[in-house]
């Protein structure tokens, strides 16, 4: 069921980005001046998800994203995650700096249950996330920086059933999707 949902979502994403790209008139597109970038989210301590994204522009409208990540999210009255992992993704520019991202986040989670005062054995979770965003480029003393504002939406593709208590599973079943107010990332291009 999760594989079917994942394939449907991925197919929709590819059709959307491909059809938008396919409707544009052919124009010679030059590669941007900078192919590499590093960014981070200053809101990480608030949301409990940390990462340092490296992006590589391999085509005029396409970027590859990779990042180490760490998730430490507190669920009030239930417990918290302790999940290192990584992010791998793709960014497609639709118009100027307007873009969509798709990111996969495999995480190895040791979940702590407050109710049971117990840390569950290492479990595997696979999250996916779609993002709509816009990058604002600027320079400070000729150093190319950017502010990337993104609206994320995602859900778990797989969560190890033995890795979490029933109270967490019930909460996750009630709220299977996650989304935040717009996030922002600060970065440097090189």
Number of domains in the chain: 1
pLDDT tens string for the chain (190 positions)? 656 666 666 666 666 555 555 555 555 678 889 999 999 999 999 999 999 999 999 999 999 999 999 999 888 888 899 999 999 999 999 999 999 999 999 999 999 999 899 999 999 999 999 999 999 999 999 999 999 999 999 999 998 988 888 888 888 788 888 887 899 999 999 9
- Is the C-alpha dihedral spanning 158, 160, 166, 171 positive or negative? negative
CA angle in degrees (0–180, nearest 5) for 90-96-98: 50
Residue 65 domain boundaries = 36-189
Residue 10 lies in a domain: no
In a domain, 138, yes or no: yes
Is residue 31 included in any domain, yes or no? no
Structural domain contains residue 23:
no
Residue 76 lies inside a defined structural domain of this protein: yes
CATH code, 100? 2.40.160
């Amino acid at each position: 069921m999760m594989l079917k949902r994942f394939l449907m979502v991925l197919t929709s994403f590819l059709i959307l980005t491909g059809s938008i790209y396919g409707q544009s008139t052919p124009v010679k597109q030059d590669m941007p001046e900078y192919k590499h970038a590093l960014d981070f989210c200053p809101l990480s301590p608030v949301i409990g998800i940390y990462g340092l994204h490296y992006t590589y522009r391999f085509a005029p409208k396409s970027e590859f994203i990779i990042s180490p990540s760490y998730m430490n999210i507190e669920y009030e009255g239930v417990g918290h995650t302790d999940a290192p992992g990584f992010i791998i993704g793709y960014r497609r520019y639709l118009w100027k700096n307007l873009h969509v991202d798709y990111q996969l986040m495999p995480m190895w989670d040791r979940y702590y249950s407050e109710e049971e005062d117990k840390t569950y054995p290492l479990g595997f979770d696979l999250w996916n996330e779609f993002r709509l965003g816009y990058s604002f480029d600027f320079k400070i003393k000729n150093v190319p920086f950017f502010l990337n504002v993104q609206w994320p939406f995602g859900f778990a593709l797989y969560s190890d059933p033995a890795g979490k208590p029933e109270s967490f599973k019930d909460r996750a079943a009630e709220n299977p999707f996650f989304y935040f107010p717009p996030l922002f990332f600060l970065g440097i291009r090189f």
